[in-house]
Structure 1
Amino acid sequence: MNVPIKVALIGATGKVGKPLLKQLLDQGYQVKSLIRKPQSYSITHPSMEIVAGDIKDLETVTELVKGCDAVISVIGQLKDEPLISSLAASNLIHAMNKEQISRYIFLTGLTLDMPGDQKSAANQQGSAWMKQTFPVVVADKEKAVELLQQSNIDWTIVRLPWIEETEEKKQLVVDLQDCLGEKVSTAGLAAFLIEQLSDPRFIRKAPFVASI
């Protein structure tokens, strides 16, 4: 009998996290969800375990990933909150190495530049605006990527356009050089993230994903 893959999920309460959690559970995965305020979280499932706490706390992160086979993070930088990207990456690298877990999948926006990019003029302009308007946030995300590149973690960075909340699993276009669409559906994105748990094509790569 095969033992279900156990996934540590960060961001289960968000607009991407909700459909992702549902699809994971519907497909038979076991899930450990990091929830900051479990007292106000009503979702329960026999295959889901809740870990109370914050990604900024190393002890909590270590407890979250313990016994898991992979980690998926769909959290974003919240307005007026401390920078999260590099601290989360540092804590996860430390905890995953301790627990001998290698697979890590997470989201970011189009602003992040990677070697080999050939962004369209419009996407270059959008990236430049973000860097000028939110320089500290962008720099923190770049620091997170540097930490991962220096680690032995099998990461995949999924770069996104505008996220469209819909249950329709629209067809996706995936490209390593540029984003070829203006939106990505939450249902389609969730399916793509789950596929990465067993698909090695984008390990230590940063594909753009969009709906068409």
Structure 2
Amino acid sequence: MMKVAIIGATGFVGSALLKEAVTRDHEITALVSNPSKVPTSDKVTASQVDVLVQDSLTDKLKGHDAVISAFSGHAQTDVLGYYVTGIQSIISAAKAAGVPRLLVVGGAGGLEVAPGVELIDTPQFPVEWKGTAEGARQALNLLRKEQELDWTVLAPSAYLEPGERTGTFRLGTDQLLADESGKSHISLADYAVAMIDELEQPAHSRSRFTVGY
């Protein structure tokens, strides 16, 4: 059992991570903007936090074995600016709190679809996801320059959608994964399995990896 802080634990991805972590008996601090949305569990402590207030975030991260960031800027007008500022705050707070590991929900946009060509830079990439994808790409670049923190980024496949927990998937590094029919997809539940597997048995220290069928 580990003591884990999940930032954004009631969001699209965060809620799946929370559910998986709880089923594996970890002790979770759910750091969210609205604690009333956190499902009640004897393994979960809900705590209100504004990621941009770094001192407060640092205090709440102290004493944890790891932090998982499912922070996102989807609801903001300036998705990219808000996300990058937030991830900078999370990195700084994790270091100041002395947390051993930071795991981050990445984006598929920064994965390669051909040598030197990232998904976000292809013509078919949806405009409405550009801000989020660019934020994830910049966050990865920030982490790659990080000298102190032990970090890991898990990028999903192109389609990350609700679906069953099969526990059967493939892992990759910097290239977008696709199945036999050419579809790049992973269920939220299986994405969460891959992330909590990495939490429990670190195999991608200071690097990005990806998961898909």
- TM-score > 0.5 by shorter chain: yes
State the Cα distance separating 1:60 from its structure 2 match: 3.0
Per-residue CA deviation, residues 49-102 of structure 1 (Å, 9 max, x unaligned), is: 111022122123213311111011123331443433322222122222222113
Matches within 5 A, 1:1-212: 4-38=1-35, 40-41=36-37, 43-82=39-78, 83-112=81-110, 117=112, 119-120=113-114, 124=118, 127-129=121-123, 130=125, 137-151=132-146, 152-160=148-156, 161-181=158-178, 182-210=184-212, 212=213
CA contact (8 A) 2:29 2:46 kept: yes
2:48 partner letter:
A
CA distance in 2, matches of 1:137, 1:164: 16
Distance, in Å, in 1 between the alignment partners of 2:128 and 2:189 is 30
Q: With structure 1 as the length reference, what TM-score do the two structures score?
A: 0.82
Distance, in Å, in 1 between the alignment partners of 2:202 and 2:149 is 13
* Structure 1 residues not aligned, in runs of 5+: none
Structure-1 separation of matches of 2:188 and 2:12: 7
Deviations 1:22-50 (A, max 9, x none): 22112110111112122x42521222111
Which residue is 2:181 aligned to? none
Q: For 1:37, give the aligned amino acid.
A: N
Identity of aligned residues (%): 23
Given that 2:174 and 2:208 are in contact with CA atoms closer than 8 Å, whether structure 1 keeps it comes out as no
Alpha carbons 1:174, 1:207 under 8 Å: kept: yes
CA distance in 2 between partners of 1:143 and 1:124 (Å):
13
Return the alpha-carbon distance in structure 2 between the equivalents of residues 205 and 33 of structure 1.
Answer: 25
Alignment size in residue pairs: 202
| Distance change in 2, residues 1:146/1:125 (3 Å) | closer
8 Å Cα contact 2:62-2:98 kept in structure 1: no
Whether contact under 8 Å (1:105, 1:156) holds in the other structure is: yes
- Residue 122 of structure 2 aligns to which amino acid in structure 1? A
**How well do the aligned residues superpose, as a CA RMSD in angstroms?**
2.6
